Amino acid sequence: MIGVSIMSASALNAKKLFADLDKVADGVEFARDLVTEPGNVIYPESYAEKIKELSSLGVDVEILDEDDMEELGMGALLGVGQGSACESHLVIMRWDGSENLTEPPVAFVGKGVTFDTGGISLKPGSGMEDMKFDMGGSAAVVGAMKALAGRNAKVNVVGVVGLVENMPSSTAQRPGDVVTSMSGQTIEIINTDAEGRLVLADALWYTQDRFKPKVMLDLATLTGAIMVALGQEYAGIFSNNDELSEKLTEAGRQVDEPVWRMPMSKAYDKQINSKIADMKNMGGKYAGSIAAAQFLQRYVNDVPWVHIDIAGTAWKTETSDIADRGATGYGVRLLDQLVRNNYED
């Protein structure tokens, strides 16, 4: 054990700064622990129970079960989990830290697929044990909420995570099925392993419809294609708003959680157009990450929005300067810094 003493002429200010950073570190640690747990420990119900721990920090935690979501018409999210014995959940976390309680919140939305077999479109067996980290986007949202509440951030924030397990069984969703999302838009299922965007579709629509946020960001370990493009160094971001993208990029630079903006265009929409539904859940073999973002954009309306694909950054195979091998907690510091720079009172 090596001890380090830091001398400062402004000790009180240093303590205050480090106190805030300690709370952010708590959020990162919480996110890493969630991602590291195996699928028989963290599954939708147990995950929702873990999130309840944030109540002790003043976060209001609300949990929707399958009956609640069916009543809301969340056919996209429920379709993903219908092959699992574990019931799906949507968890809503609210932190009202602004002096103006009527101020529209900043919204974070996370993909929480606690284990992803691929469903009927089964993944190869080799490496499937790592699919416990397919809830990394949701863990970043939960960790960020813990960090913001822990340091008493002067901002209104809502975090929404869709928690499901994607399993193959006699009740599982099939390729060729058509589901109706909460928005009323229909989706033709081409591949049941393109499931994260289905979870996010209903979670995004619910969030923008209920909370009317000033900005909305989603995080997801969504596509292998983003790893082909950017490796494990940058997360890919996709957005309908230049200003928000620039703010997020700057926050990433400050905390060494870098992002790289990828293109979006109506030209890519034809990849997900369906002949029997409003859209398909995946396109062809090209521009897979962009096609996924084009899909998600159909569920955000005009809210300034960024989609952050963290498939390459949520889990590392090599040790880095800030994380051991495995779960990185990527996204917690990024979201905290974005709020710190732009949205606090």
Residues known to be catalytic: 123, 197
Strands 279-280 and 305-309: unpaired
Between strands 305-309 and 315-316, the pairing is unpaired
| CA separation for the pair 221, 254 (Å, rounded) | 22
Distance CA 165, CA 43 (A): 7
Q: Which two tokens stand for residue 67?
A: 């009956």
Dihedrals φ, ψ of 98, to 5°?
Answer: -75, 150
What are the beta bridge partners of residue 80?
none
CB-based burial label for 103 (10 Å; 0-12, 13-18, 19+):
middle
266: which residues sit within 8 A by CB, 6+ positions away?
Answer: none
Q: Per this entry, what is the length of the chain?
A: 345
Q: From 176, 175, 174, 182, select the one nearest 199 (Cα to Cα).
A: 182
Q: Residue 111 forms beta bridges with which residues?
A: 162
